[in-house]
Structure formats: C-alpha cells, structure tokens
Amino acid sequence: MCSNGFRILIMFLFTAVSFVLNNFFSSIPVVVWYLVSINIFTFLLMFADKMYQEKKRVPQISLIYFSIIGGVFGTVLGYAIFKYKSQNKYFAYIQLFILILWIVTIVLILKNLELVVSTIREIGGK
C-alpha cells in the first residue's frame, strides 16, 4: 500500500465495482455504491492495521488518501471503535478537516440537487 499508483488502482477498482453493482441494482446510484464500498474498505483497512500493528503497518498517508477520496466516514467510524491513532492529534485534525469538507460538499449538493441533476443531464446529452 505504499505507492501512489497502487492507491489509484484501488480507487479505480472501487469505481468499476460501483458501475457493475449499479447494473444489477439500478435504483441505487453509482455514487452511493462507490461511497459505501470505499467506506467499508477504509474501515477494514483501519481494522487490519490495528490488528496487525506489530507486523506490518498501513502508511498513514494511505489512510488519509482513502479518506479524501470518500472513505472519511469509515475512517471516523474506525477511529471511534478501535481507538485508532487516538494519541496522534495531527491525524485527528486532518480527519476532522476532511470530514467537514465532505459534510459541506454533501449539504451543498443536496441543497442544489435540482441544479446538479439538470447540469449532469445537459452534459450527458451532448
């Protein structure tokens, strides 16, 4: 999990899986599938790092990366349940900042949902 290329490959993998799941369950949007899968992955990544902390650690930058690309809720849940990196205030502040960014983004999208949907339809129609 050290290289950026591997992290990006995982992100694309979750995106592809989201599109496949959307084909089977078309009532659930691709974005929801992506966010659910990346959050579960991030939560499990924190669990694995906590369980195997003496043998091999997941780099902190990987956890931050997966939080930024959508796994912040899994990270916060893992932080709360496993008391993961609770002594590391730097990590906590970064996660809080990312969480606030995601909440603001979601609120803005939901507040302007009609505009977002019409813009997406315009782009898709061209």
What pLDDT digit, counting tens, does each position of 45-73 carry? Answer: 888 888 877 677 778 888 888 899 888 99
Tell me what percent of the residues of the chain surpass a pLDDT of 70: 90
| Mean local confidence (pLDDT), 80-101 | 84
Average pLDDT, the chain: 82
Residue 1's pLDDT is 47
Band the pLDDT of 2: cuts 50, 70, 90: low
| Mean local confidence (pLDDT), 70-88 | 82
What is the token pair recorded at 7? Answer: 């992290």
Domain ranges of the chain: 4-125
Query: Of 32-36, 47-51, 75-79, where does mean pLDDT reach its minimum?
Result: 47-51
| Mean local confidence (pLDDT), 119-123 | 79
Phi-psi region of 83 (alpha: psi -120 to 50; beta: other; left: phi over 0): left
